[in-house]
C-alpha cells in the first residue's frame, strides 16, 4: 500500500520502498529500546552521569536489542563469532542525573553485508529530552582466528524483514 503526498514526487510504502521522481529507493531500519535507571555510583560529585558510564548503557542496549530478535551474544559466541567494538563516537547534549530513568534507543540504519555493523544510539530522559547520541562500530570476527567474518545467518535472518 502506497501513501502519496504529491503525484510523481514522493511515494512511501510501509515496506520501506519509496519512489522519488522515477527512482526507486529501498530503505529500512531496525530499532529497539532499553531502560536503565541511573545509579549513584555512576554519577560524579555533581550528581551527573560520568561520561564513560554511558558506554555500559550502550552495551546493555545493544545486547538487549539482539535479545529482542531472539538471540544473545552468548548464542553468537557459541557459533564462533565475537563482536568487538572498534570505534565509538559520543555526543553529550544534556546531563543525565542520579535516579533518572533513561531510555536508550538502538538503531540499525543499514543491514550489514560484510564484517562491520554500525549501531546508532540515542539516550532520552523521562521528559523525552535527548541527552546523548552515539555511533558505535563493531566487527564480526571468528573467535578462533580473530579474522573478519560476516554476520551470523540466524541474526541476518531476523534482521532482513526490517530492511526489505
Q: Which residues are catalytic?
A: 44
- Closest alpha carbon to 28 in 135, 109, 137: 109
**Sign of the torsion formed by the C-alpha atoms of 112, 134, 101 and 62:** positive
Rounded CA-CA distance 6/123 in Å is 35
Rounded CA-CA distance 27/38 in Å is 35
**Cell 514526487 found at:** 9
Amino acid at each position: 500500500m502506497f501513501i502519496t503526498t504529491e503525484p510523481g514526487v514522493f511515494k512511501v510504502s510501509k515496506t520501506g520502498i519509496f519512489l522519488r521522481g522515477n527512482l526507486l529507493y529501498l530503505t529500512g531500519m531496525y530499532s529497539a529500546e532499553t531502560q536503565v535507571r541511573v545509579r549513584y555510583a555512576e554519577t560524579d560529585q555533581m550528581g551527573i552521569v560520568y561520561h564513560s558510564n554511558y558506554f555500559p548503557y550502550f552495551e546493555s542496549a545493544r545486547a538487549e536489542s539482539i535479545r529482542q530478535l531472539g538471540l544473545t551474544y552468548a548464542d553468537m559466541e557459541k557459533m564462533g563469532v565475537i563482536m568487538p567494538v572498534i570505534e565509538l563516537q559520543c555526543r553529550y547534549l544534556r546531563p543525565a542525573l542520579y535516579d533518572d530513568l533513561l531510555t536508550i534507543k538502538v538503531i540499525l540504519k543499514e543491514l550489514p553485508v560484510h564484517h562491520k555493523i554500525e549501531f546508532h544510539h540515542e539516550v532520552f530522559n523521562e521528559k523525552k529530552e535527548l541527552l546523548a547520541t552515539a555511533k558505535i562500530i563493531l566487527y564480526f570476527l571468528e573467535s578462533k582466528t580473530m579474522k573478519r567474518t560476516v554476520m551470523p545467518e540466524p541474526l541476518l535472518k531476523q534482521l532482513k524483514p526490517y530492511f526489505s
